[in-house]
Structure 1
Amino acid sequence: MKTTLSLNKNYEFRRLYSRGKSYASPLVVIYCSKNHGTLNRLGITVGAKVGKAVRRNRVRRRIREIYRLNADRLKTGWDIVVVARAKAAEATYRDIESEFLKAAERLSLIRK
């Protein structure tokens, strides 16, 4: 099983927002940039527009699980930030998963 590290520092998120490649869908925005390691690092951002804490945490858990189940399909050595949009709170798990995979494909994060 692959290990995934978390992005925690504000400067790591800002670096991805300013220099990383991005793809926006109605439910999520994904930013990615190559890192100098062999592991992926994941950051998840769910803003207050998504709803109160219970809804934000539910969306965060869904995104984390989507990433976990599809981590073996993703290339390694990338920093990835997933930003949930307000519509993600009403979306189903399958909708978020399909948007995540479509965005990852567009950003060339999926292995061939």
Structure 2
Amino acid sequence: MRKRNRIKKNEDFQNVFKNGTSMANRQFVIYMLDQPNEKEFRIGLSVSKKIGKAVIRNQVKRYIRQVFLEEKQNILAGKDYIIIARKPAAEMNYHEVKKSLLHLFRKTKIYQKQAKES
């Protein structure tokens, strides 16, 4: 992910948490906030130590980033997204993570157009 597509500052995270909407499934929670003055979307990741040790947490974050990279053209721009991983995400492989996140994307209607399943 490019630097301009990341949310790093605590104040940005808090803004999305307080003013955004959320949707969840068993593995992930996604918070969304409209940013009409932005041309692209930004994502922030939160993977707590409850998920596992650093290796597992970093792997989950890499999987999430890769899904956003692959689905970039289908995701609505002008929004901030924060993804929070829940405990079951630690035991998932990449394809399971992708399937779970795509389910959340459809549930929250953040696709620009209906993407074809692969």
Task: Using structure 2 for the length normalisation, give the TM-score.
Answer: 0.88
Any residues of structure 2 matched to 1:1-112 within 5 Å, and which? 5-35=5-35, 36-112=37-113
Aligned amino acid, residue 87 of structure 1: P
CA distance in 1, matches of 2:27, 2:4: 23
Aligned amino acid, residue 11 of structure 2: Y
Show structure 1 runs of 5+ residues with no match. Answer: none
Aligned amino acid, residue 26 of structure 1: R
Total equivalences in the alignment: 111
CA distance in 1, matches of 2:4, 2:110: 15
Deviations 1:55-98 (A, max 9, x none): 00000001000110111111111101111111101012122111
For structure 1, which segment, 21-30 or 2-11, has the greater mean C-alpha deviation from structure 2 after superposition? Answer: 2-11
Aligned amino acid, residue 74 of structure 1: I
CA distance in 1, matches of 2:46, 2:3: 20
Aligned amino acid, residue 49 of structure 1: K
Aligned amino acid, residue 9 of structure 1: K
For structure 1, which segment, 9-18 or 45-54, has the greater mean C-alpha deviation from structure 2 after superposition? Answer: 9-18
CA distance in 2, matches of 1:102, 1:19: 23
CA distance in 2, matches of 1:101, 1:3: 23
Aligned amino acid, residue 38 of structure 1: K
Answer 1 or 2: which has greater strand percent.
1
For structure 1, which segment, 99-108 or 63-72, has the greater mean C-alpha deviation from structure 2 after superposition? Answer: 99-108
CA RMSD of aligned residues (A): 1.6
Q: Secondary structure in 1 aligned to 2:5?
A: strand
Q: Secondary structure in 2 aligned to 1:49?
A: coil
Show structure 2 runs of 5+ residues with no match. Answer: 114-118
Q: CA deviation at 1:3?
A: 8.5
Q: CA deviation at 1:4?
A: 5.5
Question: Which runs of 4 or more aligned residues in structure 1 lie more than 4 Å from their structure 2 counterparts after TM superposition?
Answer: none
